[in-house]
Amino acid sequence: MTMQEKMHNVSLYLPNDPSIVAEQTKCLEKLYDYNATRPGEGEKRTALLREMFAEFGEGSYIEPPLHANFGGKFVHFGKNVYANFNLTLVDDTHIYVGDCTMFGPNVTVATAGHPILPELRAQGYQYNAAVHIGRNCWIGAGAVILPGITIGDNVVVGAGSVVTKDLPDNVVAVGNPCRVLRPVSDNDREYYFKQHAIDPELLR
């Protein structure tokens, strides 16, 4: 099995393998170009992201600067995904994001990990586990999602949370480590923030 194959099946591998470094450098050159775009260059940004990402759905947008180990090469965005400033994608293997999901500023989605055993870390070994984020999620500012995590549909992850375990559909989850606080409820159909009521016309 090649080092490139080991990247995508949770095997230990050496990320400094010359063939991996060469591929990564090409990806990071495109990422540099993306982060150097100007605010009025929306079409250029979209074109670059479609080159850089494995999939980049219609209507999706990422506010520069974007940080990504492989410039998005292993990232799959659905439609109408939005990411605020400083999204960090540790995309050494695949990251899947469903339609209409939003990322607050300074979110990190990590697929890469290193062995606890010091002798293996000293040799430079790494492993990667894919991350799956569902449709219509809101990942709050500063949240961290760890390798191998699956987040269901319609999930809200509170700002500053560290997601260490999978989250089911239709929940609000917060904290470090992140835990389910409550389900998305009927109250959420009445109020959008504290006692600020939702106009019923918006739900028709």
Element (H, E) at 102: strand 102-103
> Is residue 114 flagged as an active site residue?
yes
Half-sphere exposure of 167 (CA within 13 A, CB side): 37
Cα gap 133→105, rounded to integer Å = 17
Distances (CA, A) of 7 to 12, 52, 58, 112: 8, 18, 28, 9
> Chain-centre distance of CA 147, in angstroms?
11
Task: Mark out the alpha helices in the chain (DSSP H runs).
Answer: 3-6, 18-35, 42-52, 118-122, 187-190
As beta bridge partners, residue 102 has: 82, 138
Largest CA distance in the chain: 61
Which one of the listed residues 8, 67, 94, 114 is annotated catalytic?
114
Active site residues: 114
